[in-house]
Amino acid sequence: MSVGLRICDVSLRDGSHVVRHQFTIEQVVSIGCGLEAAGVHMVEVSHGDGLGGSSLQYGLSRTDELRLIAAARSVLSHAKLAVLLLPGIGTRADLKAARELGADVVRVATHCTEADIAQQHIGLARELGMQVAGFLMMAHMTSPQKLASQARLMESYGAHAVYVTDSAGALTIDGARDRVRALRDALQCEVGFHGHNNLSLAVANTLVAIEEGATWIDAAVRGFGAGAGNTATEVLAAVLDRMGRNPGLDVFKLMDVAEDLVPPIMQKPAIIDRAALTLGYCGVYSSFLRHAERAAERFGADVREILAEVGRRGAVGGQEDMIIEVAFELSQRRSSPG
Amino acid sequence: MASKADSPARVRCAILGSGNIGTDLMAKLLRSRVLELQAMAGIESASAGLARAAEAGIATYSNGIDGLLALNPLPEIVFDATSAQAHRAHAPRLRAARIIAIDLTPAALGEYVVPAVNLDERLDAVNLNLVTCGGQATIPIIAAVNRVAPVEYAEIVATIASASAGPGTRQNIDEFTQTTARGLERLGGARRGKAIIVLNPAEPPIIMRDTVYACFDAGAPHEEIAASISRMVHEIQAYVPGYRLRTEPLFDGDQVTVMLEVEGVGDFLPRYSGNLDIMTAAAVRVGEEVARKLRDTQPEPHPDAGESV
């Protein structure tokens, strides 16, 4: 436990889902400055679905993410600039472009059973001299042992850390503990944890992950992330401080970012409403929420029914098109007799 | 003129690569009335694919392309079902031997071909590339929209079962997205193309599904676009029977969303791996058309073959 905690604030990436990828340069500069001043170790900036995510499938970016990354670079000095990359969506060319603009860290994300599609991207990141974390998404969908063997692959490709990524906010406390422990036992490299608050367990799960040895810790100021939001950075900072484990975060400054800077950008607070709770309850990718809300409106279907059905069909991150199809089918079923 | 009753000799072909794709391709080629499968070559003598080929009475070679180039007579067409890297080495040797290459790898050296879209224009090529599985499934839909209303932007999302994505796909996932995007532009006619691939590990494995988004010129009639898509789907079904729409095309202003799935016929590969089946089915279709063209231009010697045209 000699390695210190590193807090990565993901609001300028995971929060992109909440605002349907409409971030502006001014917003990135505003939140980026606040996070830098508050002592956050890493700030992640990308389209919500990672580099190259701007699309009809996931939502078109209002501002080219490379311009947002460059803007963040101009205000971060102590904090490292991180980007997200999902192989299959973003490419090595996108990573090179982000690196040229000064990205220090990349998190390469795959579904929890598909680590081997990240080999080239992790390898390239190392060649480019970046810090790299593997990001095993929807970690609730596989066992701790299988997750650990996938994490070993990512480590073998060169990852400096591998995350247990609770994309659906569906892990219970034991679920988070067992997975982090399995990775900790299997890996030489560091372990990370990324939580969503759909079951109101984001802080609790993060603490248990830290207890089990996770050192790369994701959070989003004011919980500014998909679904019911991520682990709130200012809350986590306060708790860690009370526990005597504050890794250099300024709790009051984070509160100020959360209360003064974020709300006007965030539009809608991160709350556990019935749709967000359904994500955690049914194990659905958190960023499906806004898409399901829109599809429910377009096809006159119920948002919870859509999410529950998408969960039943075993959708993984990236399958936003299944939301449209399910909503369409539900609307057909409703309009046909019987 | 070859008489219809007396079918001309079939065109000799061979398969390079004895993996899953090569084996599935063999099953399809053995049914062809236009192509005669002469040999299969791999690089491992213990390969299960070579054993299956031998069982089917096909000559097999474990020394790769050398085995095929030593054949007498030489094959006229070689299907390359190896890897992009291997195809880069095979292509010049096949060309030197005046053998037409039909390339199922993502090497993208030759002309891109999607049978329902541009096969007629590419029959003279010496190297024909089948783009990607996602390209075979989605480029025709973009072309169908584009022939009614110019497509400004095309985007496709291919979701395939993890079990049907081999190591080649997994280690070269950028090649899939980049080659498919280029195909959407060059063959589909879109001004700009983007492709995304998602692997889904669900058990039992899911059937390959693709979602196609097209943004077209303002004001184009939706009924004509839908009818054009419907005609295209029928054309594809002629060689990929398990190709179908999951919903009617969904219009939203000047954008259409088409959701489709591809179920394989289950020759050798399981039915869910429509992504692989559509490649082998397209390869056979391309091979047969190339063969007909070869016979048209170099008719087999025939006792009564005058020069009457």
Residue A302 CA to residue A327 CA, distance in Å, equals 8
Asked if residue A33 is part of any domain, the answer here is: yes
Asked if residue A282 is part of any domain, the answer here is: no
Do A139 and A183 belong to one domain?
yes
B1-8 mean pLDDT: 48
Long-range pairs of B231-240 with CB within 8 A, sequence gap ≥ 24? B231/B144, B232/B116, B232/B140, B232/B141, B232/B143, B232/B144, B233/B260, B235/B116, B235/B140, B236/B116, B236/B140, B239/B115, B239/B281, B239/B282, B239/B284, B239/B285, B240/B274, B240/B277, B240/B278, B240/B281, B240/B282
Q: Which two tokens stand for residue B7?
A: 């079918």
Do A162 and A311 belong to one domain?
no
pLDDT at residue number B123:
87
Residue A49 CA to residue A210 CA, distance in Å, equals 26
B307 has pLDDT over 50:
no
Q: Residue A307's domain is classified under what CATH number?
A: 1.10.8.60
pLDDT at residue number A338:
47
B227-242 mean pLDDT: 97
Residue A245 CA to residue A231 CA, distance in Å, equals 17
Express each pLDDT in A166-175 by its tens digit.
999 999 999 9
Total domain count for chain A? 2
A4-24 mean pLDDT: 97
B309 has pLDDT over 50:
no
A86-112 mean pLDDT: 98
Active-site annotation of A, residues: 17
For the ranges A224-233, B100-109, B276-285, which has the lowest average pLDDT?
A: B100-109
Do A220 and A304 belong to one domain?
no
pLDDT at residue number B173:
93
Banded model confidence at residue B167, pLDDT cuts 50, 70, 90: confident
In chain A, residues with a C-beta closer than 8 Å to the C-beta of B159 are 318-319, 321
pLDDT at residue number B297:
77
B1 has pLDDT over 60:
no
B18-39 mean pLDDT: 95
Banded model confidence at residue B2, pLDDT cuts 50, 70, 90: very low
B202 touches A: beta carbon within 8 Å? yes
Do A214 and A329 belong to one domain?
no
B91-95 mean pLDDT: 97
Do A94 and A32 belong to one domain?
yes
pLDDT at residue number B298:
67
Domain end marker among A266, A297, A326: A266
Residue B250 CA to residue A325 CA, distance in Å, equals 10
Query: Domains of chain B (ranges plus CATH)?
Result: 11-129+273-297 (3.40.50.720), 133-262 (3.30.360.10)
Prediction ipTM score: 0.95
Do A137 and A194 belong to one domain?
yes
Do A56 and A181 belong to one domain?
yes
Task: Tell me how many helices (H) and strands (E) chain B has.
Answer: 10, 13
For residue B248, what is the DSSP state?
P
Banded model confidence at residue B42, pLDDT cuts 50, 70, 90: very high
Which candidate from A55, A116, A325 shows the least CB-CB separation from B196? A55
- B255, A321: Cβ pair inside 8 Å? no
Domain end marker among A234, A266, A298: A266
B306 has pLDDT over 60:
no
Asked if residue A273 is part of any domain, the answer here is: no
pLDDT at residue number A337:
57
Residue A208 CA to residue A203 CA, distance in Å, equals 9
Q: Which residues pair with A84 in a beta bridge?
A: A107
B152 touches A: beta carbon within 8 Å? no
Do A149 and A260 belong to one domain?
yes
For residue B32, what is the DSSP state?
-
pLDDT at residue number B85:
87
Do A309 and A255 belong to one domain?
no
pLDDT at residue number B296:
84
pLDDT at residue number B171:
84
Asked if residue A277 is part of any domain, the answer here is: no
Do A232 and A313 belong to one domain?
no
Express each pLDDT in A180-213 by its tens digit.
999 999 999 999 999 999 999 999 999 999 999 9
pLDDT at residue number B308:
41
A155 lies in which domain range?
6-266
Which candidate from A55, A298, A316 shows the least CB-CB separation from B198? A316
pLDDT at residue number B64:
96
Which candidate from A56, A91, A92 shows the least CB-CB separation from B213? A56
- A318, B157: Cβ pair inside 8 Å? yes
Q: How far is A321 from chain B (nearest CA, A)?
A: 7
Express each pLDDT in B169-224 by its tens digit.
888 899 899 999 999 999 999 999 999 999 999 999 999 999 999 999 999 999 99
Residue A126 CA to residue B209 CA, distance in Å, equals 34
Place of tokens 């993502």: B106
Residue B283 CA to residue B181 CA, distance in Å, equals 20
Q: Which of B136, B8, B129 is nearest to B79 (CA)?
A: B129
- A55, B162: Cβ pair inside 8 Å? no
Q: Which of B13, B117, B133, B206 is catalytic?
A: B133
For residue B164, what is the DSSP state?
G
Preceding peptide of B73 cis, ω within 30°: yes
- pLDDT above 70 coverage of chain A, percent: 98
Average confidence score pLDDT of chain A: 96
Do A94 and A195 belong to one domain?
yes
Number of residues in chain A: 338
For residue A242, what is the DSSP state?
H
A85 has pLDDT over 60:
yes
pLDDT at residue number A3:
67
Do A187 and A314 belong to one domain?
no
Residue A235 CA to residue A244 CA, distance in Å, equals 14
Q: How far is B25 from chain A (nearest CA, A)?
A: 26
A142 has pLDDT over 60:
yes
For the ranges A34-38, A111-115, B83-87, which has the lowest average pLDDT?
A: B83-87
pLDDT at residue number A322:
94
Q: Which site among B132, B162, B170, B213 would you substitute to test the A interface, given the most A Cβ atoms closer than 10 Å to its Cβ? A: B170
B305 has pLDDT over 50:
no
